[in-house]
Structures are given as C-alpha cells and as structure tokens.
Structure 1
Amino acid sequence: MSLYPLKFKTILKDKIWGGDKLKTVLNKDFSPLPNAGESWEISGVEGDVSVVSNGFLAGNNLEELIEIYMGDLVGDKVYEKFGVEFPLLIKFIDANDVLSIQVHPDDEMSKERHNAYGKTEMWYVIEADKGSELIVGFNQEITKEQYLGKLKEGKLEDILNSTPVKEGSCFFIPAGRVHAIGKGILLAEIQQTSDVTYRMYDFNRTDDAGNPRELHTELAVDAIDYSFEKKYETTYKTEVNKTEELVRCQYFTTNILEFDKAIEKDYYDLDSFVIYMCLEGDLDLAYDEETISVAKGESILIPATIKNVKLSPKSKAKILEVFIK
C-alpha cells in the first residue's frame, strides 16, 4: 500500500507557564494536563517520537516509518543527511505566563557538548492578548562582559529587546539569539530536532516543590550571539489565495497561505516532505483521488512521493507550509 498524508498523536507537555488556549483555541480539548504549555505535533526527538494516528500505518512511529520508506517519506536528500531521525520539531505553544529567558547552541557546539543538533527556530503568533510581548535579541550593542555584569546585578531585562506582538507577528531565531515568549501568546514554532535549551534567567520562579528552576548560565555564555539588530521581526506580506514566504534557512522553509477557494500545490521540483499546520478554518486535502479532512489545530505530513495536492477550505483557512529545500 502506498504512502498517504499522515496525522500523528499529539504529545502534550505540562509547563509551569502553560494555559488553556491549546484547548480553547486549537481544539486540543482531550488534554488531561492542568497547564498544557506545548503541543508537539510532529517530533523525532528521542523519547518523544510521534506516532501515526490515521490510516493503515496508525500505531507506527515516525522513526520506524523512515526506516521502512526512507526517501519516499522524507525526501532523498533529507534521508541521506539525517537517516531515520526526523529533522524538524513542529509545535504549538501556549504561554499563560512569561517563559524563561533562554538561548540555544548551534550545531557545532551542540555536537561537541551534547552529541545533538543545534536549535534554530521560528515563531508565528496565532493569537496574542493586548499588550503581549516577545523577547528577541538585545536592545543595544553588548559585550560578553557587559552581559555578565547585568546578569550578576539581576538586571538582564535592561538589555533585552522586547517587541509588542499581535496575530501574524513572525520571528526567525537562529541558534545563539536570546529569546523568551511573553505572557498571553499562542504561537506555532518550527525548529530543528533538538531539545537543548540553556535557561539564562527565570524571574526567580520555583517549581511545584518550591525549588528554584535550574539555570545554565555558564553554558549559555559561549552560546550567545551578542550582536545587535535594529529590527528582529520578520517583515512579509500576505495576499489571499497566494502562498507567501515567511522564513527560509538551511534548516527549513516556512510559507503562509490564507485562502478562501481551492488551491492546487505542485511539489514536483521539491525533494522533501511537506508539513501543513492548520491555524484557521477547516479544509479538505485531496491527493491521488483520495481526500482527507484537516481541522483547525491539526498538523499533517505529506510524504515526499506525493507531488500534487488540492486544498479546499470549508470557508476560509490559514495554514503554515513547512519543508526543507
């Protein structure tokens, strides 16, 4: 039997800063967690490898499928580079409180320290409360010594760039860039397959047992990119029924598509899987004379061998389209 678009069982993560928007906005209403902060939609992370939930492959995990189908599933170039490890981690994140200020190491440092990949990522804001902000990068030219001084004084926030956000705000966060998700934000996150995070500062919060959360200040110092940019937010335009690029880097390309009529997608020149994250509306996905429904809050993986799909919204829909080029 041939490959088909794959849905996966959601992997929910309880977080001290989590809220209820994964349930109320993205329909993850099966969550038993009181503070569901993250919904891992498609994951190859060891210990949290996604399991198929639809069709005859249901019950098989992503690593097993790549081992069997290889380039037919993920693309020949992707398989040659990553083997059975799926290269991206696809998430929805609900921040009911501000996250810790953190940084991720790049590929070279991650391999040396953790035998893992680095973590370059991006955020797309699905919903934000009035006054919500993201921390991305520094707000001034800074040296390592100045950073350490502010950290010691407990005044790290003085040198961090806070940006007000709203629905549609988009940020590319290469490894090394300091960042934190602010209170009241629901977003989609696309990242390299890595769970290596250095927590720099956590607002003196404690866990359920009253213990301060672990910090990685010494590890973070050499991982931080201390450069300054005048603007960190990604600028893009949208046009209904037209695919627009948000981010393109060596690790992934992410596009956005808002549409109110049927759209045909042609992937004949693409040697990669494709992922759709449905942010708004419901749609039918037609392929090879078959049709599968995709609802708001669902993510679906299109195998590399499927080269033509037709997307038909029930009324109006918005999706993120993710692949490796």
Structure 2
Amino acid sequence: MIQPYPLKFQPDFKERVWGGRALEQFGFAIPDGAIGEAWTIADHANGRSTVANGELAGKGLDEIRAELGSAWFGTKGASAKNGRFPLLVKLLDCQDDLSVQVHPNDHYERLAEGELGKTEMWYILDAAPGATIIYGLKKDVDRDAFAKAIAEDRIMDVLETVPVKTGDAFYIPAGTVHALRAGVLVAEIQQNSDTTYRVYDYNRPGLDGKPRELHIEDSLNVTAYGDSGASRMETTLSGSHSWLKLAASPYFVTEKGQVDGRWELSATPDSFVIHIICDGSGFIAWEGGSLEVKRGDSLLVPAALGSYALEGKMTVLRSQLP
C-alpha cells in the first residue's frame, strides 16, 4: 500500500490568445506560444495534471483518484455529480485582456452532461501599475439593459472596472460577469469546470485567425442580476502562522497565511488540502519525508496524511472542501 505523501504536479499548459511567457518565472518548461494557463491541479476531460514526485510520479490525477479514492482525497473528495476531483487550480498569465464572460451554476439546464458549474476565486500574484479587471455589472443593470448594451456594442458602459494590486483577492460566484485584463498574474481556485460563456471579445481574432465564438443567450440566461454574492478584499496579514479567510463558498474555502519558521498543520479525513506558494520558498515536511517548495508550486496534501508542517519563509494559500 502506498503511504500518503504531498503531491506535486506537472501542469497541463494552455495556449491562449491573451497569454504570454510569464509562467516561465516559476521554473516551468512551458511549450512554445502564448501560454495563458497552467492547470496545476486538474482532473478534467479537457486537461489533467500528472504527478511529478514520489511513488506515483507520472500518473494523472484522474488515475490516482480512481485508484485511491476517499482514502487519499477524503470523504468529500469527489464530485457527487461526476465522481471527479471537485476543484481545478490554475495559474494565469494575462498579457492581454480576457474576454468578458460569465459562468453558469450547477443547475443550468444547458450544461454539458457531467459538467459542473463554475464558482471561482482569484488571488493576484502580481499586478502591473494601473492594472484593472472587470468585476460585475453596474448597479441596476437588468437583463433588458444588459442585452441592449450587447446588441448596441456598448457593453463596457454597463460593466464595473476596478483597480487591482498584488495581494488582492476576488470571490466570483457563478453568475458574476467578469474579465481579467492585461498586466496581472493570477492564482485561480475554482469548481472543476471548463464552461465559459463569452459575452464580448473585443472583436479580435483567436489563435486560428477567426473570431472566437460568443455565447450571448447563455450569458444572458446565467447572469445574476443584482447582487451575485461577489466580494473582494485586500489581504494584508497581521502576523505569521494564522489563516486569513479569503473566500468561503459551498465548493471550497480558501485562506492565506504567512510561514516564518515551522508551522505545524494537519489534514482531516473529510478533505484533501491544496497549498499554493505565492512567494518565498521552503519545505513541506511529514512523517515520511520532506519536499522543497517555491513560488508558483501547487501541492495536494492527501486527507490521510494527518500531521505535516510548512517550513521556511513564504506566503501560502490553503484551499479545502467546506
């Protein structure tokens, strides 16, 4: 029987019209092209990450989930809808503006079979001076007003644009109209879904030279008019070795903490733990060994691991199931 240990993955990289080469700064050997996304912990039909360390090296997250199940991932560690790993973790390099988009919830009738809705959160790892994102509709914009603005090609008139800086966090429930924009490097924690409805894409060509498909009717259907439940916060920490809650959803809870020395932690039988190293470096240590970690790494701590420790000087995100 394989003894549980923290898993580090080889990401699945995605070329995007808005991507670049900034993910190389994390030590990734990224493929040629404009690479916009690294799917660092992924178990989806459209992309999977493979284990890069230990006895399970070379196996996909989907294989490990099928073989080891709740013993490693917890009693809550698989989607009730499709049996897959319930979350998807990405790093995003935004060298240009992303499309204005919105995601459905789990109950939208036009979802593909077995696909989940997409509630997500962003943590800004780096932001250029003056960087902004699109974050919701302006107050009192209803479906009719939104549809009219789209039809008249003045969608930007009804969208909220907000400034961002390194360390900001954004919670984006399904139904929130949003778009990352040029000049940000982002860690994203989301439901395990690849369903995006594009509302507007700046009339630009895609990687194939043709305009990318828009999904106007679906976008209008799934948008949460009024209060979508979205929230944003600055995440300055008051000290080390305590957690600041950034997002609490029905699908994940994400917190931020500062490691300074050795921080004793533990996993519980009901959920795996995901750690993203935002800056700094150090080690994750457990009874059977230790693993060096650095900025940009994503780690999956099995539910069955029990006690472990983070050591060094680094800022980390922790995500687990509620």
Unmatched runs of 5 consecutive residues or more in structure 2: none
Work out whether 1:113 is the aligned partner of 2:115.
no
Aligned equivalent of 1:170? 169
Greater shift after overlay, 140-149 or 203-212?
Answer: 203-212
Aligned equivalent of 1:189? 188
Amino acid at match of 1:118: G
Q: Give TM-score, length-normalised by structure 1.
A: 0.93
Q: Secondary structure at the match of 1:108?
A: coil
Count of paired positions: 319
Answer whether contact 1:281 1:296 (CA < 8 A) is retained. Answer: yes
- Spell out the pairing of 1:7-46 with structure 2 (5 A cutoff): 7-24=8-25, 26-28=26-28, 30-46=29-45
Answer whether contact 1:27 1:296 (CA < 8 A) is retained. Answer: no
Work out whether 1:140 is the aligned partner of 2:139.
yes
Amino acid at match of 2:263: I
Sort the Cα spacing of 1:80 and 1:279 in 2 relative to 1 into closer, same or farther, 3 A. Answer: closer
Give how far 1:289 is off. Answer: 4.2
Sort the Cα spacing of 1:80 and 1:90 in 2 relative to 1 into closer, same or farther, 3 A. Answer: closer
Instruction: Decide which structure has greater strand share.
Output: 2
Tell me, in whole angstroms, the C-alpha distance in 2 between the residues paired with 1:176 and 1:214. 19
Q: Secondary structure at the match of 2:254?
A: strand
Aligned equivalent of 2:307? 308
Tell me, in whole angstroms, the C-alpha distance in 1 between the residues paired with 2:290 and 2:207. 46
Tell me, in whole angstroms, the C-alpha distance in 2 between the residues paired with 1:195 and 1:230. 21
Q: Secondary structure at the match of 1:141?
A: coil
Tell me, in whole angstroms, the C-alpha distance in 2 between the residues paired with 1:297 and 1:230. 28
Give how far 1:84 is off. Answer: 4.2
Tell me, in whole angstroms, the C-alpha distance in 2 between the residues paired with 1:323 and 1:32. 30
Amino acid at match of 1:324: L
Sort the Cα spacing of 1:83 and 1:216 in 2 relative to 1 into closer, same or farther, 3 A. Answer: closer
Q: Give TM-score, length-normalised by structure 2.
A: 0.94
Tell me, in whole angstroms, the C-alpha distance in 2 between the residues paired with 1:48 and 1:98. 23
Give how far 1:113 is off. Answer: 3.0
Answer whether contact 1:239 1:258 (CA < 8 A) is retained. Answer: no
Give how far 1:244 is off. Answer: 1.3
Give how far 1:80 is off. Answer: 7.5
Sort the Cα spacing of 1:86 and 1:208 in 2 relative to 1 into closer, same or farther, 3 A. Answer: closer
Cα deviation 1:123-154 (Å, max 9, x = unaligned): 00010001100111112211111111111111
- Spell out the pairing of 1:136-285 with structure 2 (5 A cutoff): 136-228=135-227, 232-234=231-233, 236-241=235-240, 242-268=242-268, 271-285=270-284
Tell me, in whole angstroms, the C-alpha distance in 2 between the residues paired with 1:297 and 1:235. 20
> In percent, how many aligned pairs have the same letter?
35
C-alpha RMSD over aligned residues: 1.8
Unmatched runs of 5 consecutive residues or more in structure 1: none
